[in-house]
Chains A and B, each alone.
Chain A
């Protein structure tokens, strides 16, 4: 009724409301357009990489040439011309910045505008930030303080220089170079991203956070993040992302690998707010990301929490390989599509070890002409004695032109393992909206309140500092979806 009509009327709203859509005017250094072995050598040389890493990149590239892009996801887009993009763009500075004082002030202003001040004294207390601008990490804060307790938190390119043995031991061990089309491409051309290592028994004294920003036009962003929690270590890590408004689609094909050893715990949270494109579906980021964590140690834990509100297309399945006995994995997700956005997202929980546990809570919200698919695999391998999974998958529809789809895959090779799956689909009730409005809330406030209530179980998994921000983002990304 009123809702459906409103959905259509709402459509122009989002573009003006994407407040991160500005472009920073800064001198860039780019590699020539296109992709070939020379470009890969260029990237590797720029970063003064050791021979083994270049060899690994080239191996990935040659493998990628033989691969086709995946067609199984419920998303539609024209073919991507991989030769019509830049694979390396960096803010032009003589050397890499050594400290914050050397970072281009224009860049610092950009991050301030994004609400991510990089001056340590202005930063949210207790959060260390690594800022990645196009292909390069521009600043990492609180390094000293982290070093004191032995935590390494730096750009992955820096880790390659300073801790090559760690990078070499773990890189590509969770997501192999040949894993899938986009992960393989990433392995060939990845530019920057964050590296975290927590030594045995260390609880990270603060939240770690990486802030990704695509600025340059026609540039793909291929960051690679690697987090290793040694035995008994704990860390909570958050990534945020934004991009300028551009008419063209930009590719973001990241890879994140997590490794948790005995009793270690990694909590990885994402607030993804890449530019979603305009109301007609022009522009926006293609967010094709591979995220996977390996619970290698006994009783290790990995949890993924994601709030996906941006991007024209989201294609990602943060997964857990539950190898260690008694290890546990969790996936908490909010995915919102409005206007013409498409999301095909979910998780894979691979139970290998005995007594492994996994929890999946997915909240999909579809508005406008958005299409939202939950795709999740739970696999109980032969050795997964007494393993347990619980999956809860809720979809909320706003208006009549959007779609919600749930595609669970369940495979069990162990009779003692148990898998539970619950799914619901609902619309925002006209009675709920009216009830809120009768109490004085306008329609947008009412929708925001109801949707935030719907997402509550996931929102409360986010670190405190970001939960409020995420709540606002949920409201913002649905603006104009009713009216």
Chain B
């Protein structure tokens, strides 16, 4: 599903990823852990196509296609979703307008018909309920004045609605209270399907006890330093990243 080979990425002239390789098969959930500043968010941005992240070498294939050749919105239409570590505020743009525009943009690119207002509302309400969110969220300007945890839930709401094939979650668990963490994990688990893959970036083993990963990778100094099963997360929690040296 996702094949990253020898990826080198520079940001603002500094090389952050230095030959990263990683494969995620359909149906799998992989966790990426690593020290602050090691390049985890950089990896997520590159997968989503953020301008300013220069790929100097390497390849990324997604569903057999050259992911790096696609525009960000093409990637979204092809099922790539990034839950941002720092969700962005859009003043004056209501949650409802944003969600509906996004959903219909993606549907259009997939050759599906627009949802009308009623169909859309029905779809959103279901997701809101399962995330214990209120309809108030839809009326407010997107992410404006949201608490940290509300922003993260809002990311999950979008993911649930857009039903991506490849979801990259960048520290979605940070800032969530214990109940919210459980809800988010349930949401992620509900999306688990044979045709889908997920890359879960986190600092905490806690999330991984709810979302049990198929593989755990340690990203440090710009590369995957070690990979293992779910027990690797426990080991990291106990021992830290000392053996992998400092970030970058």
Contact = CB atoms under 8 A, between A and B. Distances in A.
Contact of A441 (B52, B92, B102): B102
Given A1-B52, A430-B52, A439 B90 contact: no
Contact of B50 (A434, A455, A457): A434
Contacts of A438: 48-49, 72-73, 75-76, 81-82, 84
A439 B88 contact: no
Interface in B119-134: none
B92 A454 contact: yes
Interface string B23-50: 0000000000000000000000000111
A442 interface: yes
A212 B109 CA distance: 39
Interface of A: 1-2, 429-432, 434-443, 445, 449-450, 452-457
Interface stretch (B3-11, B93-101, B188-196, B197-205): B93-101
Contact of A452 (B49, B76, B93, B102): B93
Contacts of B158: 439
Contact of A449 (B77, B98, B162): B98
A443 B97 CA distance: 16
A80 B141 CA distance: 46
Nearest to B105: A440
Contact of A430 (B51, B76, B101, B106): B51
Given A437-B73, A438-B76, A438-B82, A454 B162 contact: no
Contact of A440 (B52, B88, B91, B102): B102
B115 interface: no
Where chain A touches its partner, the secondary structure class is helix
A1 B51 contact: yes
B105 A439 contact: yes
B148 interface: no
B71 interface: yes
A437 B93 CA distance: 15
Given A436-B98, A440-B102, A456-B93, 6 more contacts: A439-B76, A439-B162, A441-B101, A453-B91, A453-B141, A454-B91
Contacts of B88: 429, 431-432, 434-435
A454 B81 CA distance: 26
Nearest to A439: B102
B162 A440 contact: yes
Contacts of B141: 453
Interface residues of B, number: 32
Contacts of B162: 439-440
26 contacts: A1-B52, A2-B51, A430-B51, A432-B89, A434-B51, A435-B88, A436-B102, A437-B49, A437-B76, A438-B49, A438-B73, A438-B75, A438-B76, A439-B76, A439-B98, A439-B102, A439-B106, A440-B76, A440-B103, A440-B162, A441-B102, A449-B98, A450-B90, A450-B93, A453-B93, A455-B92
Contacts, number: 82
Given A438-B72, A440-B109, A452 B92 contact: yes
Contacts of A431: 88
Contacts of A450: 90, 93
B87 interface: yes
Contact of B87 (A430, A435, A442, A453): A435
B155 to A, nearest CB: 10
Contacts of A449: 90, 93, 97-98, 101
Interface in B47-75: 48-52, 71-73, 75
A439 B87 CA distance: 12
A450 B98 CA distance: 10
A456 B97 CA distance: 12
A442 B73 contact: yes
Q: Which of A429, A435, A437, A440 has the most CB of B within 10 A?
A: A440
Q: Which of A434, A435, A437 has the most CB of B within 10 A?
A: A435
Contacts of B87: 435
Contacts of B90: 432, 435-436, 449-450, 453
Contacts of A432: 88-90
Given A430-B51, A438-B72, A438-B82, A453 B109 contact: no
Q: Which of B77, B101, B103 has the most CB of A within 10 A?
A: B101
A405 to B, nearest CB: 22
Contacts of A442: 71, 73, 105
Nearest to B77: A440
A272 B106 CA distance: 33
Top 9 A-B residue pairs of the complex, sorted by shortest distance between their CB atoms: A453-B92, A453-B93, A456-B92, A439-B102, A440-B76, A440-B106, A440-B105, A437-B72, A435-B88
A73 B90 CA distance: 33
A172 B63 CA distance: 71
Contacts of B81: 438
A430 B158 CA distance: 20
Nearest to A429: B88
Nearest to B82: A438
B104 to A, nearest CB: 9
A34 to B, nearest CB: 49
A439 B81 CA distance: 7
A441 B73 CA distance: 6
Contacts of B73: 437-438, 440-443
Nearest to A456: B92
Contacts of A443: 73
A434 B45 CA distance: 10
A450 B88 CA distance: 12
A437 B71 contact: yes
A380 B51 CA distance: 50
Nearest to A451: B92
Contacts of B72: 434, 437-438
Contacts of B52: 1, 430
Contacts of A457: 92
